[in-house]
């Protein structure tokens, strides 16, 4: 396991688009608030050479995206890498990446959604801990930004023990639309089955993670804690068959489930019915409605690091060692 050096005030963060182009979110100008937020945190922000490339599939070419990833890891001035947005095609990059280059130049790599494929593949191929957390564009979110930013800083800018716990509030809104009314709800992680357990953190977006099954990019750990979430384009049926696939590939020590966007029509009743199909989930810690995935805010957590789950205190913790 390789834990990358923590970010510091004054560090350069490189923004890349390994999945959809940043043009999907309006380009650089439409995301200036995100750049301002990161600069206020003390970071220098730069962008990949091909960040604005945008073909008929809404993305840059494989060659351009791979070049930007390699250059970001090679550049000694770059201390952290943030993805601009998710998408649908990150996994097509995996055979073309130079994993020895990445392993020899370890640094913070953070994103979520479709980036799940890249984060888990890098860990599986190199042992480098990556992070599921905010995209670059996430930093222009107004409501819930305090929790999101504080978690980002805690995990990526400080050494030692890290504890993740529920946000006070959350919402499932089109927060990126200039004029919207947030529907604020009380934040609470909910328990399906109680217990304490430890294991290697894997997962992220469940559909994207399952694309790695049967490939050399799938994490091969036996004792895992699975982080699973579903995007707003999916629905509860997609999660139902995706979790079956995940449980056929792994026997997790604990299962952590992100909040479901309202578009998925996943109710608490439906989720508990799905979980109840699997007797093994009654004997391990299972928490749901957690702060990661496609609702707001989202926490930052590692991929490829031992995490400790305690449902009694509703805390997920890990140590940098």
Positions marked catalytic: 113, 229, 294
Distance spanning both ends of the chain, measured CA to CA? 10
What tokens were used for 227?
């982080």
- The CA radius of gyration of the chain, in Å to the nearest whole number, is 18
Cα separation values, 221 from 95, 127, 165, 224, 280, Å? 21, 11, 25, 6, 18
In the block, residue with structure tokens 């590692």: 302
d(CA 133, CA 291): 10
- The dihedrals phi and psi of 9, each to the nearest 5 degrees, come to -60, 135
10-44 per-residue burial string, b: 16 or more CB within 10 A, e: under 16: ebbbbbbbbbbbbbbbeebeebeebbebbeebebe
Check: CB of residue 230 under 8 Å from CB of residue 239.
yes
What tokens were used for 18?
């390994």
CA 179 to chain centre: 26
In the chain, the DSSP E strands lie at: 12-16, 44-47, 78-83, 108-111, 130-132, 161-164, 169-170, 185-186, 190-193, 196-205, 224-229, 254-258, 286-290, 301-303, 306-310, 315-319
DSSP state of 113: G
d(CA 95, CA 216): 10
Contacts of 239 (CB under 8 A, 6+ apart): 206, 230, 260, 264, 266, 271, 274
């Amino acid at each position: 396991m390789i834990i990358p050096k923590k970010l510091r005030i004054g560090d350069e963060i490189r923004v890349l688009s390994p999945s959809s182009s940043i043009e999907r979110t309006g380009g650089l100008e439409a995301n200036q608030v995100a750049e301002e937020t990161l600069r206020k945190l003390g970071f220098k922000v730069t962008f990949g050479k091909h960040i604005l490339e945008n073909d008929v599939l809404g993305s840059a070419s494989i060659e351009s995206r791979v070049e930007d990833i390699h250059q970001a890891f090679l550049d000694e001035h770059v201390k952290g890498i943030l993805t601009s947005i998710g998408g649908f095609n990150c996994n097509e990059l995996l055979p073309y990446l130079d994993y020895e280059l990445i392993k020899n130049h370890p640094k913070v790599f953070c994103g979520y959604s479709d980036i799940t494929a890249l984060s888990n593949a890098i860990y599986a191929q190199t042992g480098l801990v990556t992070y599921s957390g905010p995209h670059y564009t996430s930093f222009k979110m107004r409501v819930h930004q305090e929790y999101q930013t504080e978690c980002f800083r805690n995990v990526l800018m400080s050494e030692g023990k890290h504890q993740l716990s529920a946000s006070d509030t959350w919402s499932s809104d089109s927060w990126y639309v200039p004029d919207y009314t947030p529907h604020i709800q009380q934040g609470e992680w909910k328990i399906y089955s109680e217990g304490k357990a430890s294991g290697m953190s894997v997962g992220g977006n469940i559909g994207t993670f399952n694309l790695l099954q049967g490939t050399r990019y799938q994490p091969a750990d036996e004792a895992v804690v699975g982080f699973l979430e579903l995007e707003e384009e999916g629905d509860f049926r997609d999660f139902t068959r995706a979790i079956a696939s995940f449980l056929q590939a792994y026997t997790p020590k604990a299962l952590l489930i992100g909040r479901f966007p309202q578009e998925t029509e996943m109710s608490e009743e439906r989720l508990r019915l799905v979980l109840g199909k699997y007797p093994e989930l009654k004997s391990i810690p299972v928490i749901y409605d957690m702060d990661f995935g496609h609702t707001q805010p989202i926490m930052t957590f590692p991929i490829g690091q031992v995490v400790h789950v305690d449902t009694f205190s509703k805390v997920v913790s890990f140590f940098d060692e």
